[in-house]
Amino acid sequence: MFTETVRQAFQAIIRNAMRSFLTILGVIIGVAAVITMVTIGQGSTDQIESDVSKLGTNLLIVRPGAGMGPRSSGRSAPRFTLKDVEAIKEQIPGVIAATPANTSSMTVIYGNENHQATITGVDNDFLIARDWNVALGREFYESELRAGTATCILGETVRKDLFGAGDPVGETIRMEQISCRVIGVLEAKGASSFGQDQDDTVLIPIRTFLRRIAGNQDISSMYVAVEPGYSTEKVQSAIELLLRERRRISSGEEDNFSVMDTKEITSMLTGITAVMTGLLSAVAAVSLLVGGIGIMNIMLVSVTERTREIGIRLAIGATETQVLMQFLVEAVVLSLLGGLIGILLGLGFGYIGSIYMKIPFAPDWTTTFLAFAFSAFIGIVFGYFPARRAARLDPIEALRHE
């Protein structure tokens, strides 16, 4: 009996193929949107995790403000100074490198070529902390760092863009008002989270950055590398203690800076992705609901159109339950079909999106299953009312219906 009902439902759907498709369009879009969101969200999370893990487990990032993200007080909190960097390097055991890292986006010009790049003010410890080697040329000399000379080390992307196949070492590039001699080229590192290109950077001495670009002495963030074998957590709390003291934070007050290890960076970055994914999925879920209402609407129309058919079925002995089941199963089959198409489309869009965003393709099977189950649920909820209306029709009235 039940397989028979399902077979009849498919027949009815195929008979009105075009209308059936339009009916389930809402569900298709809703499910496809949810699956796409979740797939891309999961892909970004995976990407962030793998990127951050590439930073190494022994890296700490020090930033002003408590934490990051939407509620951070990063903008208003006082910055660090070069003295803070030195204090960390000298006073805390287990620190092998501590470097300022101020960044600014600027146009870099060489001859007729120009290129937008991130200018990072650092010292040589940056290369240790980020585990980054100079592939061509050399690091900064101590004297250059102390004097804040106009020298720079190019990331691979900047080099390729400005010099093509040529050797940039010894050449002079211009970054707005600064003319800067190229002393080296970094080895290529590749893309980072959200497709950001880490090689699209120019390193200059921090003092050069402060004097010629920032115009103040504020250090906006620091990288600290912990010597292998030392506990990252211990170093982390030592830095926190030291900075509290240096920044004169009394014991009752909260930190106005944060020291994060890579695990915390990961959770912070993926947290943002999760919020985004959640929000967009909620919007998608609403469209699923709207899709369900669409199904109800069309099922009601269908019941009216097929009143005579229902009358015939009732006359030859269909029970109320059998007619109810017929229309309910039809609604469920419809919305499941919508769910199925939506899942396939969503996985497709997720795949295309992941290629486009250079992140891993990470379909989430739990969500996929839930989307499928939810579309069945929608079919039952929104199919019930029209089905009940069909089942309760008066046979004579229905038979008389034109």
Partner 1 sequence: MTAPGATDAADRQPVISLRGVTRVYGEGEAAVHALRGIDLDIAPGEFVAIMGPSGSGKSTAMNIIGALDTPTAGTYHFSGADVGGFDRHQRSILRRDYLGFVFQGFNLLARTSALDNVELPLIYKGVSRAERRALAKAMLERVGLGRRLDKEPSKLSGGEQQRVAIARAIASEPAVLLADEPTGNLDTARSQEIMELIARLNREEGLTVIMVTHEPDMAEYAGRIVHFKDGLIERDGMNGNPRAPAPETADVH
Regarding 319 and contact with partner 1 (CB under 8 A), the answer is: yes
CB 305, min distance to partner 1, A: 11
CB 315, min distance to partner 1, A: 5
Closer by beta carbon to partner 1, 219 or else 310: 310
CB 24, min distance to partner 1, A: 21
Q: What's the burial of 93, exposed, middle or buried (CB within 10 Å: 0-12/13-18/19+)?
A: exposed
Regarding 313 and contact with partner 1 (CB under 8 A), the answer is: yes
Closer by beta carbon to partner 1, 63 or else 306: 306
User: Which one among 315, 352, 355, 373 touches partner 1, defined by CB under 8 A?
Assistant: 315
If we measure between CA atoms, which residue out of 188, 57, 97, 59 comes closest to residue 134?
A: 188
3-state secondary structure the chain: CHHHHHHHHHHHHHHCHHHHHHHHHHHHHHHHHHHHHHHHHHHHHHHHHHHHHHCCCCEEEEEECCCCCCCCCCCCCCCECHHHHHHHHHHCCCEEEEEECEEEEEEEEECCEEEEEEEEEECCHHHHHCCCCEEEECCCCHHHHHHCCCEEEECHHHHHHHHCCCCCCCCEEEECCEEEEEEEEECCCCECHHHCECCCEEEEEHHHHHHHHHCCCCECCEEEEECCCCCHHHHHHHHHHHHHHHCCCCCCCCCCEEEEEHHHHHHHHHHHHHHHHHHHHHHHHHHHHHHHHHHHHHHHHHHHHCHHHHHHHHHCCCCHHHHHHHHHHHHHHHHHHHHHHHHHHHHHHHHHHHHHCCCCCCCCHHHHHHHHHHHHHHHHHHHHHHHHHHHCCCHHHHHHCC
Regarding 322 and contact with partner 1 (CB under 8 A), the answer is: yes
Closer by beta carbon to partner 1, 309 or else 364: 309
User: Which one among 318, 345, 357, 362 touches partner 1, defined by CB under 8 A?
Assistant: 318
User: Which one among 1, 17, 18, 165 touches partner 1, defined by CB under 8 A?
Assistant: 1
CB 314, min distance to partner 1, A: 7
Contact 130, 222 (CB under 8 A): no
Question: Which residues is 63 bridged to in the sheet?
Answer: 258
Regarding 189 and contact with partner 1 (CB under 8 A), the answer is: no
- Cβ neighbors of 328 (< 8 A, separation 6 or more) are 379, 380, 383, 384, 387
How many C-alpha atoms does 195 have within 13 Å on its Cβ side?
8
Size of the site for partner 1 (CB under 8 A): 20
Selected range binding partner 1 among 104-112, 247-255, 311-319, 374-382, rule: CB under 8 A: 311-319
Count of beta carbons in the 10 Å neighbourhood of residue 250: 6
Closer by beta carbon to partner 1, 113 or else 320: 320
User: Which one among 17, 18, 165, 316 touches partner 1, defined by CB under 8 A?
Assistant: 316
Residues numbered 11 to 30 that lie near partner 1 (CB under 8 A) are 15
CB 273, min distance to partner 1, A: 51
Closer by beta carbon to partner 1, 100 or else 311: 311
Regarding 309 and contact with partner 1 (CB under 8 A), the answer is: yes
Closer by beta carbon to partner 1, 13 or else 48: 13
CB 44, min distance to partner 1, A: 50
Regarding 165 and contact with partner 1 (CB under 8 A), the answer is: no
Quick one: CA dihedral 185, 214, 55, 51, positive or negative? negative
CB 3, min distance to partner 1, A: 9
CB 43, min distance to partner 1, A: 47
CB 313, min distance to partner 1, A: 7
Q: What is the pattern of x (binds partner 1, CB under 8 A) and - over residues 230-269?
A: ----------------------------------------
Residues numbered 337 to 396 that lie near partner 1 (CB under 8 A) are 395-396
Go through the chain and tell me how many residues it has. Answer: 402
Selected range binding partner 1 among 18-26, 145-153, 243-251, 306-314, rule: CB under 8 A: 306-314
Closer by beta carbon to partner 1, 92 or else 393: 393
Residues numbered 23 to 62 that lie near partner 1 (CB under 8 A) are none
Regarding 6 and contact with partner 1 (CB under 8 A), the answer is: no
The site for partner 1 (CB under 8 A) is made up of 1, 4, 15, 308-309, 311-322, 395-396, 399
